[in-house]
């Protein structure tokens, strides 16, 4: 019988749902060493927390995150709250000896992220940051192909994350639904929210970034604040584009915006190496486009691999349906919980941990500093 692991979830918004869903499904599909028990859900509004507990099967609900952190019965503290709250909760949870799973981005900025790394490392607690796209099977396969040397030397890494949900100036900033637009809650705009995903994946795939050159734009300068009801200056970046040097000699090119009309969550990347290229698109996440220069000339060309063939070794797919039947967004959260539980059971701790997420945060900081100054910025290496 798998040992029980008591989960205290803080935050019942979008991410609280994705993580709760993952806990409910993981033991049905993965043979993991722990059985997660949904103990407590914590959120701002008592009646909403209670309703969430009923809907997702939590044993209790509360409105004070300290209750979760102080609860001796809780093994894992899950932080699914807005960015400005991550550090305080994580540091308290580390002191209380909890395993911590935190939503991305880890913190408001690199300095704050460093205090979180120091806290978990001093306490010796397991820690993990939810950059879920690493665990899309196609994205994981790309990592395997890079590690096998199939690309040869990598020349280019380019990634985009395009959305269009904040074009209207009537979208407010702040509050429960639109805290991502409020600099005080989010720390930054698309850089921390969207580019952080691209950067995390890129660092994992292609290694450290040395320096960056960026520009940002805030298209709507003032928005009504959902909490004060008043028009306030917008402090976040609505769009950001940067180019960079990776330490391995390759060039990087990244762009994120919430003003790309027609695109909802178009995360794409393309990698060009000496021997092969690959490209991937979140809107078609179960496909990997692959070009292998080693193919016989007459048949050489881009191929589109349907990532559902576990006989062929597609990552994670042997846990799901039969070959040919695809999976989607929510499964990436199931995969990461499965990997975290396996790591806690004595395997290798799942990545990215807080230290890896700090590296992403440092790139974000350099991007924002470069855009502010209009010049190259070096990435801090811890
Ligand atoms: C923002 O719209 C958002 O929900 C991000 O916060 C997520 O991290 C991303 O996966 C989808 O877009």
The string of pLDDT tens digits covering residues 292-335 is: 999 999 999 999 999 998 888 999 999 999 999 999 999 999 99
Q: Residue whose CA is closest, atom 10 of ligand 1?
A: 194
* Residue whose CA is at the smallest distance from ligand 1 atom 11: 265
Helix (H, G, I), strand (E, B) or coil at 376: coil
pLDDT category of residue 247 using cuts at 50, 70 and 90: very high
* Ligand 1 mutation target, pool 193, 196, 285, 364, most atoms within 8 A of CB: 193
What share of the chain in percent tops pLDDT 90? 98
Q: What does the pLDDT average to over 160-165? A: 98
Mean pLDDT calculated for residue range 188-209: 98
In sequence order, the 6+-apart residues with CB closer than 8 A to the CB of 118 are: none
User: Tokens 């935050």 belong to which residue?
Assistant: 11
Ligand 1 near 193 CB (within 6 A) = yes
> For the chain, what percentages of helix, strand and coil (3-state, to nearest 5) are there?
40, 25, 35
DSSP-assigned letters across all residues of 315-336: TTGGGSSSTT----HHHHHHHH
Query: How high does pLDDT run on average in the chain?
Result: 97
CA-nearest residue for atom 5, ligand 1, is 193
* Chain mean position to CA 23: 17
Q: Please give the distance, rounded to the nearest whole angstrom, from the Cα atom of residue 275 to the centre of ligand 1.
A: 33
Instruction: Return the pLDDT at 312.
Output: 86
pLDDT at position 347: 76
Tell me the pTM. 0.98
Given a contact cutoff of 8 angstroms between Cβ atoms, the answer to whether 259 and 219 are in contact is yes
133 with 197: CB under 8 angstroms? yes
Give the distance (Å) from ligand 1 centre to CA of residue 265: 8
Ligand 1 within 6 A of CB of 103: no
Q: The domain 134-351+360-373: what is its CATH number?
A: 3.30.360.10
Ligand 1 centroid from CA 194, angstroms: 6
User: pLDDT class for 96, splitting at 50, 70, 90?
Assistant: very high
Give 156-225 as a DSSP string: EEEEEEE--TT-STTS-BBHHHHGGG-HHHHSSSHIIIIIHHHHHHHHHHH--EEEEEEEEE-S--EEEB
pLDDT at 1 over 80: no
Residue nearest to atom 1 of ligand 1 (CA): 193
Query: Which atom of ligand 1 is least distant from the CA of 196?
Result: 8
Q: Is the CB of 265 under 6 A from ligand 1?
A: yes
Closest ligand 1 atom number to CA of residue 104: 8
Which 8-state DSSP code applies to residue 349?
Answer: P
Distances (CA, A) of 313 to 140, 348, 364: 11, 21, 34
Å from CA of 193 to ligand 1 middle: 6
Percent of the chain with pLDDT over 70: 100
Question: What pLDDT is stored for residue 121 in this prediction?
Answer: 98
Q: Which two tokens stand for residue 109?
A: 């900025």
**Would the pLDDT of 26 be above 90?**
yes
Ligand 1 test: best mutation among 133, 265, 266, most atoms within 8 Å of CB? 265
CA 73 / ligand 1 centre spacing (Å): 31
Query: Phi, psi (5° rounding) for residue 340?
Result: -65, -45
Query: How many residues are present in the chain?
Result: 382
CA gap 16, 19 in Å, rounded: 5
The answer to whether residue 261 scores a pLDDT higher than 90 is yes
Q: What are the residue ranges spanned by the domains of the chain?
A: 3-133, 134-351+360-373
Fold entry, domain 3-133:
Rossmann fold (3.40.50)
Task: Please list, in sequence order, all residues whose beta carbon lies within 8 angstroms of the beta carbon of residue 43, skipping any fewer than 6 positions away.
Answer: 10, 11, 12, 13, 16, 49, 52, 61, 63
**Ligand 1 centroid vs 141 CA: distance in angstroms?**
22
**What whole-number distance in Å separates Cα of residue 60 and Cα of residue 53?**
6
At 142 the pLDDT is 98
If pLDDT is split at 50, 70 and 90, which confidence band does 4 have? very high
Please choose from 11, 171, 190, 194 the residue to mutate so as to test ligand 1's pocket, defined by most ligand atoms within 8 A of CB: 194
Query: Residue 156 and residue 274: Cα distance in Å, rounded?
Result: 10
pLDDT recorded at residue 144: 98
Q: What is the mean pLDDT of residues 129-144?
A: 98
Task: Please report which confidence band the pLDDT of residue 71 belongs to, taking 50, 70 and 90 as the band edges.
Answer: very high
Answer whether residue 116 shows pLDDT above 80: yes
Q: Which residue's CA is the closest to the ligand 1 atom numbered 6?
A: 193
Q: Give 57 Cα–ligand 1 centroid separation in angstroms.
A: 25
Tell me the average pLDDT across 56-74.
Answer: 98
Angle (CA) 248-250-251 rounded to 5° is 140
Q: What is the mean pLDDT of residues 338-349?
A: 94
């Amino acid at each position: 019988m798998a040992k029980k692991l008591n989960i205290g979830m803080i935050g019942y918004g979008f991410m609280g749902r994705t993580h709760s869903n993952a806990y409910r499904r993981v033991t049905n599909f993965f043979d993991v060493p722990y059985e997660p028990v949904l103990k407590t859900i914590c959120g701002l509004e008592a009646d909403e927390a209670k309703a969430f507990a009923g809907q997702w099967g939590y044993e209790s609900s509360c409105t004070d995150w300290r209750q979760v952190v102080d609860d001796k019965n809780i093994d894992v503290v899950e932080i699914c709250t807005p960015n400005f709250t991550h550090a305080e909760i994580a540091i308290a949870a580390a002191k209380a000896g909890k395993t911590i799973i935190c939503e991305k981005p880890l913190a408001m900025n690199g300095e704050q992220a460093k205090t979180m790394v120091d806290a978990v490392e001093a306490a010796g607690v397991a820690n993990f940051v939810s950059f879920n796209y690493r665990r899309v099977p196609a994205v994981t396969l790309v990592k395997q192909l890079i590690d096998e040397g199939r690309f040869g030397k990598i020349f280019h890494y380019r990634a985009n994350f395009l959305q269009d949900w904040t074009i209207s100036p009537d979208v407010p900033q702040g509050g429960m639904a639109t805290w991502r637009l409020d600099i005080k809650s989010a720390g930054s705009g698309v850089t921390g929210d969207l580019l952080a995903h691209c950067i995390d994946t890129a660092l994992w795939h292609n290694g450290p970034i040395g320096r960056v050159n960026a520009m940002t734009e805030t298209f709507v300068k003032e928005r009504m604040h959902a909490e004060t009801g008043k028009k306030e200056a917008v402090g976040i970046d609505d769009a950001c584009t940067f180019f960079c040097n990776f330490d391995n000699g390759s060039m990087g090119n990244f762009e994120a915006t919430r003003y790309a009309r027609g695109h909802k969550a178009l995360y794409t990347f393309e990698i060009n190496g000496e021997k092969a290229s690959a490209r991937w698109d979140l809107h078609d996440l179960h496909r990997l486009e692959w070009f292998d220069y080693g193919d016989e000339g007459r048949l050489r060309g881009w191929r589109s691999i349907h990532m559902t063939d576990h006989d062929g070794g597609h990552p994670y797919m042997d846990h799901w349906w039969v070959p040919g039947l695809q999976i989607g967004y929510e499964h990436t959260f199931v995969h990461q919980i499965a990997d975290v539980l396996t790591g806690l059971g004595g395997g290798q701790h799942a990545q990215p941990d807080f230290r890896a997420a700090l590296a992403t945060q440092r790139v974000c900081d350099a991007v924002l500093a470069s855009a502010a100054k209009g010049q190259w910025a070096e990435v801090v290496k811890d």
